[in-house]
Structure 1
Amino acid sequence: MTRAASIGRRLLVLALLVVAWQCASWCGWVNVQTLASPLEVWSAGAKLWHSGELVPSIFISLRRVSIGLLIGVSIGAALGLVAGLSRIGEEIVDAPLQMLRALPFLGLLPLLIVWLGIGEGIKVGLVVIGVIFPIYLNLHKGIRAVDPRFAELTQACGVGRWGLIRWVVLPGAWPSFLVGLRFALGIAWLSLVVTEAVNADAGIGYLIQQGQQFLQTDVILLGLVIYGLLGLLLEGLVRAIEWRTLDWRKDFASA
């Protein structure tokens, strides 16, 4: 019941923001020529829905970000495990990754176009690159933050190294991994917004490009709203995993 109430309050805040936006448009506080109202955005969405463009575009963008997340999370988790579980692994992996992390990964777009072309590879590839670093950093630090006294206790009980990793280290690092995953989701959508502006012929970014070309702010805002809603959906999935797997943990909550 508490979680349902929490979700309800979050949705209520979003609804109030939309109402305030619409009221500002009605009152003339916002120029509808440069910032379309929610009703105009809804009307643009309805037109694209009936024309058959909207749903395929949503699924194409969701597929791209899902593939990029799957690959990026897998690579980042593997590197985090190598660096977190072994000092030698950290010495091999950490320095190159920290150097790459210092680079503005969106600035790699021209080079990736040369390597991957302007097809699906570039659209998924930039998502992969952006996702790797938050997963790696949070999992690595989560493993290293596990209390060493637990390791001593398990060793005293005769548990081997793999048992220590399975029953102590990975559960202890799981909350940090989920934090990294939530950061990765935001970066994934940011990367997709940029890459779908590169010679796209489908997807939400393509709709935004079309809106920009014809000065249709309602279509541009529709695309941005869809990006935000898809991001909120994936964030909700991560929260559900967190509630399911970390139900035993009691966090501080202010009144």
Structure 2
Amino acid sequence: MTASSAPGAIGAVGAVGAIGRSVPGAVGRSLAPWVAPLALVILWEALSRLQIIPKSLLPSPSEVVLAAVHATRSGDLPAHLGVSALRALGGLVIGAGIGLVLGLATGLSRALQLVVDGPIQMLRAIPALALVPLVILWFGLGETAKLFIVAVTVLFPVYLNTFHGVRSVDPHIIEMARVYDVRGLALYREVILPGALPSILVGLRFALGLAWLVLIVAETIGASQGLGYVAMNAREFMQMDLLVLTIVLWAILGKLADSLARWAERQLLPWQPRLQRMDAR
């Protein structure tokens, strides 16, 4: 090896070494969040096998897995899961869409804020469960009632965060845009919406979680399909393995919804320093 090629070789070896050190670190950071849940499941299984936890009160993880396998093979679980997913998605689209429009409108109009914000704040304090009797009277026991419950619940976080995001946009930037004759829809599209987008995505992240959370309430309204229906039936017939399975599925779906929202943040807000640090890790 010549003297001139030595620095290049040393640099290549250093780069390979850095990659080798970063790969285990990245794998470790990816696996770290799963260590505590896995340890909890192992402890749960051990206590069940030692009969410290009675099976009549809480089935073991292996029994829950067997219940999931049987329900999947019969086709019941995928069907119920698909129905619940469609309900959550439909309610989310309707509620988030209304919340986004109201947040953008009241964020820039003081007069509209005085008219709209007060009633919305009062409605926000009403639990979804308290609305069920009225919803049944209004919409009956069909799908409209379930979509209404989900939509009303997810509307508020999207509205509040959109309103806050619009109000957080620098007024000097808005004034500068108006000086350059950027007005109307162009002002919303080019200035206000990008400035409010971080806050809007936070609201959407909350809404995704709430959509699954309130779905159990929505699926008590005369449902014959869905995870809420499976949970209610399992409770009535004391099928503890199915009941725990629905709870585990809700936890997994909530985590997936949160991960989807975080991915959307990284895609739509690549310039955010906080997200850049997350990607670097």
The verdict on a shared fold, with TM-score over 0.5 as the criterion, is: yes
1:60 matches 2:60: no
Q: Give the deviation of 1:237 after TM superposition.
A: 1.5
- Structure 2 CA distance, aligned partners of 1:28 and 1:149? 67
- Structure 2 CA distance, aligned partners of 1:195 and 1:176? 27
- Number of matched residues? 254
**Structure 1's 197 and 249: CA in aligned 2 closer, same or farther, altered over 3 A?**
same
Q: Give the deviation of 1:5 after TM superposition.
A: 6.3
Q: Counterpart in 2 of 1:127? A: 150
- Structure 1 CA distance, aligned partners of 2:191 and 2:50? 59
Consecutive unaligned residues in structure 2, runs of 5 or more: 1-22
1:233 matches 2:259: no
Q: Give the deviation of 1:107 after TM superposition.
A: 0.6
Q: Counterpart in 1 of 2:108? A: 85
Q: Counterpart in 2 of 1:44? A: 67
Which structure: larger Rg?
2
Aligned to 1:251, what secondary structure does the other structure show? helix
1:176-206 Cα offsets, whole Å, 9 max, x none, are 1111111112221122111212322111112
Q: Counterpart in 2 of 1:115? A: 138
Query: Which sits farther off after the overlay, 132-141 or 32-41?
Result: 32-41
Residue type of the partner of 2:118?
A
Residue type of the partner of 2:147?
V
CA RMSD in angstroms, aligned pairs only:
2.4
What is the correspondence of 1:20-35 to structure 2 with a 5 Å cutoff? 20-35=43-58
Consecutive unaligned residues in structure 1, runs of 5 or more: none
**Structure 1's 136 and 3: CA in aligned 2 closer, same or farther, altered over 3 A?**
farther
Q: Give the deviation of 1:18 after TM superposition.
A: 2.4
Query: Which sits farther off after the overlay, 205-214 or 15-24?
Result: 15-24
- Structure 1 CA distance, aligned partners of 2:102 and 2:177? 25
1:248 matches 2:238: no
What is the correspondence of 1:174-213 to structure 2 with a 5 Å cutoff? 174-213=197-236
1:5-54 Cα offsets, whole Å, 9 max, x none, are 65543344433332232233234442221111111111111111122211
- Structure 1 CA distance, aligned partners of 2:71 and 2:208? 26
- Structure 1 runs of 4+ off > 6 angstroms? 1-5, 252-255
